[in-house]
């Protein structure tokens, strides 16, 4: 480390102060006194950002209770990567790790950030609040309109000859034109089942299954801020002691939205499998679920691939990667949510998004997106000790690699080539923007 004479004087002064305080009495010496000296030394222009220890925070700036997102194994992952064993409680941090949207509150707080921010590496925040379809089904439906249009435009211009990505037909009921279109679709096929979902609810709350014009009309009157999504009537079923419905919980890390969108799909994930045998008549209590319960058990993706066979598993995975290329990284994203370049220009901190996506596979091996979650469940012990080894094997591995990426990005910043930041991602699949495909 290089010090100027001014820095040396501060260092000597801090040392003398500690000695003097110690001589006066133990009560006069405190960690805060030393920390104040250290911060003064850190503020000198000659001390590089690399000399400042990495720190992370999970305390919210917005209202509401603060909890460590994911629990103790997250703290262990940060400590393993040099972030320290204790999270920051003040404004002196490098990473804000939370499952809440804190950007609005951060922008209000930024002018009051502690002085060490001037020599810190650029701060990194989990959740960019840019891709607003995360956790918001109405915004997702509007985005999918643009995604389909982009796919069709590329195909018409002969710029993309690949197999098109498929998404479930969905209507936003708060839009008069779309609500009328949905009621017309219901009338045209009275046997077709639809899933009614509140725009912002989670954990399968408020979901209804609707079939027939009468039921649809009554539902449309009661539900305004909701979407009507096509029910996948012919899902791929697991043949284990009968036929059972399941869907996948996949994790996508969007490392950057601009200037070049960069995403990674975690190779492992979870499958939620119904314990009840699948029936021909849809049932909301049996067929709609979002997590582990007495009616739903978790499985690893590896067990799903083993059951359906290697060739079919590779086909499904290739189609899943394409689904996220179009959903998260295509030209439709800017059309839906604006120029991502303003994120860094206007905020003064970097951000990333860890997205949890629920995907169901049809019997013809087509993956269909059900929804995407703002805070994918990263806890490993909440489903009981019997499932903790499975959860740790998936979620702890995911968090450890994310912590390693954060350290690389924060420690080297602009001095590190973009690709070098990702060399620790050994069990992720790179998601490439559709417009960059050959």
Please report the pLDDT score of residue 162 as a whole number.
79
Answer yes or no: do 19 and 83 share one domain.
no
**Mean pLDDT across the stretch 427-437?**
75
pLDDT of residue 3 exceeding 60, the answer is no
First and final C-alpha spacing in the chain: 47
Answer yes or no: do 264 and 324 share one domain.
yes
Answer yes or no: do 106 and 42 share one domain.
no
Q: How would residue 158 be classed by pLDDT, with cut points 50, 70 and 90? A: confident
Please report the pLDDT score of residue 38 as a whole number.
42
Please name which of 229, 224, 144 lies closest in space to residue 176, comparing C-alpha atoms.
224
pTM of the predicted model as reported, rounded to 2 decimal places: 0.84
pLDDT for 51-65, tens place per residue?
567 999 999 998 888
Answer yes or no: do 364 and 418 share one domain.
yes
Please report the pLDDT score of residue 202 as a whole number.
61
Task: Detail the DSSP E strand segments found in 191-266.
Answer: 193-198, 208-211, 226-230, 238-239, 243-244, 246-256, 262-266
Is there a domain that residue 299 lies in? yes
pLDDT of residue 387 exceeding 60, the answer is yes
Q: Is the dihedral of CA 186, 189, 194, 199 positive or negative?
A: negative
Please report the pLDDT score of residue 422 as a whole number.
67
Range of the domain at 326: 55-135+241-438
**Mean pLDDT across the stretch 69-89?**
92
Answer yes or no: do 370 and 432 share one domain.
yes
Please report the pLDDT score of residue 228 as a whole number.
93
Cα-based angle 437, 401, 110 (whole degrees, multiple of 5): 90
Q: How would residue 433 be classed by pLDDT, with cut points 50, 70 and 90? A: confident
Q: What is the mean pLDDT of the chain?
A: 82
Please report the pLDDT score of residue 410 as a whole number.
87
Is there a domain that residue 401 lies in? yes
**Mean pLDDT across the stretch 288-298?**
91
Answer yes or no: do 302 and 384 share one domain.
yes
Q: DSSP letters of 328-366?
A: HHSTHHHHHH--TTHHHHHHSSEEEEEEEEEEEEBTTS-
CB 94 within 8 A of CB 55: yes
Looking at 30, 47, 64, the residue that finishes a domain is 47
Q: How would residue 182 be classed by pLDDT, with cut points 50, 70 and 90? A: very high
Is there a domain that residue 94 lies in? yes
Is there a domain that residue 229 lies in? no
Q: How would residue 138 be classed by pLDDT, with cut points 50, 70 and 90? A: very high
pLDDT of residue 5 exceeding 50, the answer is no
CB 288 within 8 A of CB 195: yes
Please report the pLDDT score of residue 12 as a whole number.
40
CA separation for the pair 105, 123 (Å, rounded): 15
Is there a domain that residue 6 lies in? yes
**Mean pLDDT across the stretch 90-119?**
78
Is there a domain that residue 225 lies in? no
Please report the pLDDT score of residue 395 as a whole number.
97
**Mean pLDDT across the stretch 196-225?**
82
Lowest-confidence segment of 5-14, 35-44, 245-254, 417-426 by average pLDDT: 5-14
Answer yes or no: do 368 and 311 share one domain.
yes
Helix, strand, coil percentages in the chain from 3-state DSSP, rounded to 5: 40, 20, 40
Q: How would residue 414 be classed by pLDDT, with cut points 50, 70 and 90? A: low
CA separation for the pair 272, 284 (Å, rounded): 15
Is there a domain that residue 391 lies in? yes
CB 274 within 8 A of CB 236: no
Q: How many helices (H) and strands (E) does the chain have?
A: 14, 16
Q: Give the total number of structural domains in the chain.
A: 2
**Mean pLDDT across the stretch 165-176?**
92
Is there a domain that residue 269 lies in? yes
Answer yes or no: do 250 and 343 share one domain.
yes
Answer yes or no: do 4 and 75 share one domain.
no
Please report the pLDDT score of residue 413 as a whole number.
62
**Mean pLDDT across the stretch 254-274?**
91
Please name which of 251, 241, 293, 302 lies closest in space to residue 272, comparing C-alpha atoms.
293
Looking at 31, 47, 63, the residue that finishes a domain is 47
pLDDT of residue 120 exceeding 50, the answer is yes
Answer yes or no: do 262 and 344 share one domain.
yes
Query: Which range is most confident: 3-12, 74-83, 206-215, 422-431?
Result: 74-83
CA separation for the pair 72, 88 (Å, rounded): 15
Q: How would residue 4 be classed by pLDDT, with cut points 50, 70 and 90? A: very low
Instruction: Give 281's DSSP letter.
Output: S
Answer yes or no: do 109 and 21 share one domain.
no
CA separation for the pair 352, 153 (Å, rounded): 29
Please report the pLDDT score of residue 239 as a whole number.
86
Please report the pLDDT score of residue 206 as a whole number.
79
| DSSP bridge pairs for 274 | 296
Answer yes or no: do 43 and 59 share one domain.
no
Helix or strand or coil: residue 429? Answer: strand
């Amino acid at each position: 480390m290089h010090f100027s004479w001014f820095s040396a004087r501060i260092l000597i002064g801090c040392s003398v102060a500690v000695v003097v305080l110690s001589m006066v009495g133990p009560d006069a010496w405190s960690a805060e006194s030393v920390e104040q000296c250290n911060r003064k030394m850190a503020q000198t222009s000659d001390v590089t950002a690399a000399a400042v220890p990495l720190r992370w925070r999970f305390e919210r700036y917005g209202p509401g209770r603060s909890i460590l997102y994911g629990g103790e194994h997250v703290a262990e992952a940060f400590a393993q990567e040099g972030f320290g064993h204790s999270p920051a409680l003040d404004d002196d941090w490098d990473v804000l790790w939370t499952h809440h949207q804190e950007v609005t509150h951060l922008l209000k707080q930024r002018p009051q950030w502690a002085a060490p921010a001037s020599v810190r590496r650029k701060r990194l925040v989990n959740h960019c609040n840019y891709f607003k379809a995360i956790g918001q089904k109405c915004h997702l439906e509007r985005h999918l309109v643009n995604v389909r249009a982009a796919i069709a435009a590329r195909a018409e211009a002969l710029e993309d000859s690949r197999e098109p990505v498929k998404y479930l037909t969905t209507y936003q009921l708060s839009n008069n034109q779309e609500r009328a279109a949905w009621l017309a679709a219901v009338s045209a096929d009275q046997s077709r089942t639809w899933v009614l979902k509140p725009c912002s609810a989670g954990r399968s709350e408020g979901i209804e299954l609707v079939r027939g014009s009468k039921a649809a009309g009554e539902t449309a009157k009661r539900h305004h801020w909701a979407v009507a999504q096509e029910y996948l009537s012919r899902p791929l079923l697991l043949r284990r002691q009968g036929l059972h419905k399941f869907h996948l919980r996949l994790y996508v890390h969007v490392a950057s939205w601009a200037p070049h969108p960069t995403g990674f799909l975690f190779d492992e994930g979870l499958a939620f499998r119904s314990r009840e045998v699948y029936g021909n008549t849809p049932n909301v209590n049996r067929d709609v679920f979002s997590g582990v319960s007495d009616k739903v058990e978790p499985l690893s993706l590896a067990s799903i691939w083993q059951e359906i066979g290697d060739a079919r598993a590779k086909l499904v995975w290739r189609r899943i990667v394409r689904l996220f290329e179009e959903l998260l990284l295509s030209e439709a994203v800017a059309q839906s949510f604006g120029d991502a370049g303003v994120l860094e220009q206007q905020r003064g901190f970097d951000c990333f998004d860890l997205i949890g996506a629920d995907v169901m596979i049809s019997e013809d091996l087509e993956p269909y997106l059900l929804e995407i979650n703002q805070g994918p469940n990263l806890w490993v012990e909440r489903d009981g000790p019997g499932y903790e080894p499975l959860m740790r094997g998936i979620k702890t591995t995911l968090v450890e690699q994310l912590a390693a990426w954060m350290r690389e990005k924060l420690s080297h910043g602009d001095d590190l080539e973009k690709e070098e930041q990702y060399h620790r991602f050994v069990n992720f699949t790179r998601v490439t923007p559709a417009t960059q495909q050959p």
